[in-house]
Chain A
């Protein structure tokens, strides 16, 4: 082989190695968490409240709390993101203002989640007087995943064939009617994709909720809004992980990690069918 060919092979091998490493990483993480966590999980673990500082007992209330946070976040974030995306595509003239608007949205997506936690702690928990509450956590998470959903909707609207809109206009529909009868129905997959992806991220976040919504023990189901914190899987895991010298804590931590990972993956994977359908339609055009 000539040196040139050796260089060629070496570079290609390096690329494949990088790819292989990344994929192995996912499989490795999955394998470790499943192997260590599966033995812990049974019906009692999934339903009973934690006891003895998390060393015994289960994660029932934490699962409920995380579900409550995820649902609250989705209900709050989806309409706000839809409003943002509609204003951006339907009511904004393409130009400087709109580009700036997009830049701000992207920048918000890069803001570290702990800063959302600090903001929520001061403004929502203390200033607005909501106290540590599931609603405060839902609000903070909703603001955090706004860009993810808004951009997903935006992309879907942009991908709409111009002829759809033209035909609707030709039929004499005004702008509001075009939105309701063409844009929204065609954008539904984008809303679902973005929301599920965002929620997949939100469900695993610890930093924003540990200051606004989550406690470690003492709550089963919240009975009101103000000062009604919840248990949450990521925070539960976070506390257990700090107790790493205790084998009982750690074995429960692996169980919690498996449930949390499963939940985050399910939300991410649930967004796939909508995207696949949308891609297929795009290709068919």
Chain B
């Protein structure tokens, strides 16, 4: 899918900065300079974003990094800055989220790609896009007023709990899994289905053995990207997770804490404690380090997902 080049340019090839190796073509137009300047500014911001988290967290991680990822106790008033219970909280809510959104999104995506009339497909795609475009604060409001009542009603957990946050995340990342699965399945050539059907396979078998083997990388990518979304979601989780620090399970309590309120990395980073932390280098270092952990995890998941998807994948 490369951009087409006129033959003389292709032969001449490009040197550094995309300048042509052929001297006749080597001139820097105002357009080129403008494009380069604009993208340098854009890249500058991106580099600054990454650099900020690395530079600001470095001194803290050097001196107290072990405490941050080894201790579950966080109480800045007592200078205890362990992030383990927040990391556990983030893991729990995103795992609940992905185990709900995964099956529903994948089945729905297969349904959209394989079972829906072609004329209907663009409209359903638009609906999924709208669903993905619902602001997370609106999900948060629905979470507080609808979902937490439901969780309370079932008796599985308290209103504001890791469980509520996980369920809400499950609903929120469905569109991501859904639309990426559909894209992956839709990219499989029609002949695969035709051949499978001609061999006498049922529609299910033709999907499972004809279509899915060719797009399982795409579906894996969908799950990874959705997991990245779930890990980083802040506002909706903040509103329903309860935000109580130091929820570390004692022996035999591993299931119980799911139904209790807790804290995630993002709900900590989104709280007003960030403004308090700003005046204390240690506290601020710890907050930025939590941000760095989140950044590295989501970046890794997204990059992995992108690589799995191959070139030409949509977002």
Residue of A nearest to B103 (CB): A18
Structural contact, A92 and B18, CB atoms closer than 8 A: yes
A118 to B269 Cα, complex, angstroms: 8
A79 to B35 Cα, complex, angstroms: 9
How far does the Cβ of B208 sit from chain A's closest Cβ, in whole Å? 8
Residue of B nearest to A164 (CB): B4
How many residue pairs between the two chains, A and B, have CB atoms under 8 Å in the bound complex? Answer: 291
Structural contact, A112 and B175, CB atoms closer than 8 A: no
User: Looking at chain A, what size class is its interface with the partner chain?
Assistant: 35 or more
Structural contact, B111 and A253, CB atoms closer than 8 A: no
Residue of A nearest to B175 (CB): A22
Contact with B along A202-243 (1 / 0, CB 8 A): 011111001100000000000000000000001001100110
Structural contact, A241 and B3, CB atoms closer than 8 A: no
Structural contact, B204 and A11, CB atoms closer than 8 A: yes
Residue of B nearest to A159 (CB): B1
Contacting residues, chain B, for A151 (C-beta < 8 A):
314-315
Structural contact, B138 and A260, CB atoms closer than 8 A: yes
A165 adjacent to chain B (CB < 8 Å): yes
A114 adjacent to chain B (CB < 8 Å): yes
B260 adjacent to chain A (CB < 8 Å): no
Structural contact, A237 and B315, CB atoms closer than 8 A: no
A205 to B288 Cα, complex, angstroms: 21
**Contact flag A119-B298 (CB < 8 Å), given A26-B127, A234-B135, A241-B140:** no
Say which residue of A111, A147, A175, A200 sits within 8 Å of B298 (CB atoms): A111
A282 adjacent to chain B (CB < 8 Å): no
Residue of A nearest to B301 (CB): A110
B68 adjacent to chain A (CB < 8 Å): no
Structural contact, A83 and B234, CB atoms closer than 8 A: no
Stretch at the interface among B75-83, B225-233, B244-252: B225-233
Contacting residues, chain B, for A268 (C-beta < 8 A):
129-130, 133
**Contact flag A119-B49 (CB < 8 Å), given A90-B18, A234-B137:** yes
9 A-B residue pairs with CB within 8 Å: A14-B107, A15-B114, A18-B110, A87-B36, A92-B14, A93-B13, A103-B303, A237-B138, A261-B138
Structural contact, A80 and B105, CB atoms closer than 8 A: no
Contacting residues, chain B, for A43 (C-beta < 8 A):
none
Contacting residues, chain A, for B41 (C-beta < 8 A):
80, 83
B184 adjacent to chain A (CB < 8 Å): no
Structural contact, A119 and B53, CB atoms closer than 8 A: yes
Structural contact, A106 and B303, CB atoms closer than 8 A: yes
Contacting residues, chain A, for B30 (C-beta < 8 A):
176
Structural contact, A112 and B274, CB atoms closer than 8 A: no
Structural contact, B3 and A115, CB atoms closer than 8 A: no
A130 to B315 Cα, complex, angstroms: 32
A147 to B18 Cα, complex, angstroms: 21
**Contact flag A211-B133 (CB < 8 Å), given A87-B39, A113-B232, A176-B30:** no
How far does the Cβ of B218 sit from chain A's closest Cβ, in whole Å? 14
Say which residue of A87, A147, A234, A257 sits within 8 Å of B315 (CB atoms): A147
A15 to B305 Cα, complex, angstroms: 23
Contacting residues, chain B, for A260 (C-beta < 8 A):
135, 137-138
